[in-house]
Amino acid sequence: MSGSERILKAGAQADASYPRSAPRPGAAFDIEAIRRDFPILQQSVNGHPLVYLDNAATTQKPKAVVDALEHYYTRDNANIHRGVHELSQRATAAYEQAREKARSFVNARSTAEVLFVRSTTEAINLIAHSFGAARVSAGDEILLTRMEHHSNIVPWQMLCERQGARLQVAPVNDRGELILEDFERLLSPKTRLVSLVHLSNALGTVNPVKEIISLAHRRGVPVLLDGAQAAARIPIDVQDLDCDFYALSGHKLYGPTGIGILYGKSELLETMPPFLGGGDMISSVTFEKTLYNKLPNKFEAGTPHVAGAVGLGAAIDYVRGIGIEAIAAHEDELLRHATEAVSRVSGLRIIGTAREKAGILSFVMDGIHPHDIGTILDQQGIAIRAGHHCTQPLMEQFGVPATARASFGMYNTLAEVDALVDGLGKVREVFA
Amino acid sequence: MGDLRDLYQEVILDHSRKPRNFRPLERADRRVEGFNPLCGDRVTLFVRLENGEVRDISFQGSGCAISTASASMMTEKLKGKTTQEAMRLFDEFHGLVTGKPGGVGNGEELGKLAVFSGVCEFPIRVKCATLAWHALKAALTGGAQSVSTE
């Protein structure tokens, strides 16, 4: 591990030059200024001011992101790489600058380790195909947890079917926390990869990923983290975590849809075959033999979502301008207040009471289906999500078909949490 | 809250709290699973036919107020109806909740089921209201063993 410690120090030094915003005390977190940056929030829905509490599904976009997309399409748009003309060079520069922003955001050692993908889902599928083809054979095991999103279950089931491998699933306790002893017990000589969620989309549980990674590495097993929910709520340092792969989606990080990031350690990515074949991922093609391009291009076949990457770069700048630590502190305050307040609503039960939680509050109400809660809240302009949140095995464990879920973003206020609680009172009235 | 009361009418709330014919049916000759992947609602519909008539009908499952009440009231309505009458009611009901009257009648046949007219103002909930009805259609046409609203 001394090698990675050395790298960690080098990475931290390199990163010191990047203007990271320091954690701010709550008072300096200017919520009104932030809200003004999100034009979509300034509207009424069903006759009430919009209260957007569906941020785990997707976040809204600051004007800076919308402007970056517009700027790109109105000034720089061209296809990237190998273009001799001015616009192509500008587009290429914009795309690669976005990659550098992404690298810095997750603190990867090099941009060679930062792949642009469509989404977290695509990132996981890429690993399942590419790593799976190289490293997983019949009888091998992939270790997941019970709290995974379907996107971190199904690609592995498909891999297992292709290769004759098996899924192992680490259990979760009644608070919605991973049972570490069981997880450790399930790590076997046959385990080829651990893939787990950093922050659960259905429960809000924050997993002790550093400890988990260290447990897996002691047995030589690489770890993929699904960071879809964590990216906007927890500072990510892939070198400090020492994770092998980290996947996230731009649209849950205040950026555009259709763009995401997959970080992978270069020594692993180098040994993996490409996921998709096509243009840009090759260095030369003949009908006899094709030589693949170097990292990261080897994994980016076809024309990528250049505008999306540019928009994501702008989102990363915006988020870092506010400070991810400050956002996390703000959301912690919202979650604390919401947890206390909804606990006073009669017949309401919170699903997911882990000691380490962030940004997400799932609950059910006696005798009232989450879907009905969602409709009644929507009539008051309050957007939440009702359903199984693509985590059906987890819902089964908690004995519910679905939950209602409020999830916070940097622009939500304590007053909006109060509006939610008032709204739940009206839900009770309708069903009284 | 006027709009909400259109959707959550007292009779709907009553049926959602105390669903009628909520039981498995022994000697059912048709059994269809209905599933709404959008919200996870599930309904199992049991039908016993005799001489082209719905002799008995019941359901089980879990779902929101709208889907539960709709299934409950549908089973009440259909007992003793011929399969042709039931299929006509399907069309009437579908027209009612989608706001696109498609049946041959003017909807009067629906009787109490007219309380679901508010659903058409909530398009996302149409699938809740029609889940049991789609299961019914599958049961009567003898096709699928399971239906999905997606």
CATH number at residue B121: 3.90.1010.10
Residue B85 vs residues A199, B46, B55, B103, B104: alpha-carbon distances, Å: 52, 18, 13, 11, 11
Nearest-Cα residue of chain B relative to residue A386? B39
Chain A closest CA to B104's CA: distance in Å?
32
Residues in chain A where the model's pLDDT stays below 70: 1-27
The question of whether A390 is a catalytic residue gets the answer yes
Q: If residue A387 lies in a helix (H) or strand (E), which one and from where to where?
A: strand A385-387
Give the CATH number of domain A34-54+323-430; options: 3.40.50.300, 3.40.1030.10, 3.40.50.2000, 3.90.1150.10: 3.90.1150.10
Helices H / strands E in chain B, number of each: 5, 4
Span between the terminal Cα atoms of chain B, in Å: 30
Residue A96 vs residues A68, A112, B86: alpha-carbon distances, Å: 15, 11, 63
- Total domain count for chain B? 1
* Beta-bridge partner residues of B50: B53
Helix (H, G, I), strand (E, B) or coil at B40: coil
CB contact under 8 Å between A401 and B62, yes or no, is yes
CB contact under 8 Å between A395 and B42, yes or no, is no
List the structure tokens of B65.
């107020």
Residues of B in contact with A431 (CB under 8 A): 8, 13, 65
pLDDT at A26: 44
| A388 reaches B (C-beta below 8 A) | yes
* Beta-bridge partner residues of A115: A262
Question: What is d(CA A103, CA A10) in angstroms, rounded to the nearest whole number?
Answer: 14
Domain with CATH 3.90.1150.10 in chain A: 34-54+323-430
CB contact under 8 Å between B3 and A368, yes or no, is no
Domain-embedded: residue B148: no
CB pairs under 8 A between A and B: 54
Q: Phi/psi zone of residue A220: left (φ > 0), alpha (ψ -120 to 50 degrees), beta?
A: left
Q: What residue numbers bound the domain in which B91 lies? A: 2-142
Chain B closest CA to A421's CA: distance in Å?
17
How are beta strands A141-145 and A166-170 bridged, if at all? parallel
Nearest-Cα residue of chain A relative to residue B62? A401
* pLDDT digits 0-9 by tens, B57-115: 999 999 999 999 999 999 999 999 999 999 999 999 999 999 887 655 566 789 999 99
| A393 reaches B (C-beta below 8 A) | no
pLDDT at A16: 35
Interface confidence (ipTM) of the complex: 0.88
pLDDT at A296: 96
Residues of B in contact with A376 (CB under 8 A): 4, 8
* pLDDT digits 0-9 by tens, B26-36: 899 999 999 98
Q: For A369, which of B4, B5, B64 is closest by C-beta distance? A: B64
pLDDT at B38: 74
pLDDT at B93: 96
The band of B143, judged by pLDDT with boundaries at 50, 70 and 90, is low
Question: What is d(CA A360, CA A352) in angstroms, rounded to the nearest whole number?
Answer: 9
Phi, psi (deg, nearest 5) at residue A365: -125, 135
Nearest-Cα residue of chain A relative to residue B5? A430
pLDDT at A8: 35
Indicate the average pLDDT of chain B: 90
Question: What is d(CA A80, CA A83) in angstroms, rounded to the nearest whole number?
Answer: 6
User: Prior bond to A296 cis, omega within 30?
Assistant: yes
Nearest-Cα residue of chain A relative to residue B64? A369
Largest CA distance in chain A: 74
| A48 reaches B (C-beta below 8 A) | no
**HEC profile of A116-137:** EECCHHHHHHHHHHHHHHHHCC
Catalytic residue among A179, A390, A400, A414: A390
Residues of B in contact with A368 (CB under 8 A): 65
Chain A closest CA to B19's CA: distance in Å?
12
Question: What is d(CA A216, CA A222) in angstroms, rounded to the nearest whole number?
Answer: 7
The helix, strand and coil proportions of chain A, stated in percent and rounded to the nearest 5, come to: 45, 20, 35
Residues of A in contact with B122 (CB under 8 A): 375
| B30 reaches A (C-beta below 8 A) | no
Residues of A in contact with B1 (CB under 8 A): 379, 426, 430
pLDDT at A28: 72
- Which CATH architecture is the domain A66-321 placed in? 3-Layer(aba) Sandwich (3.40)
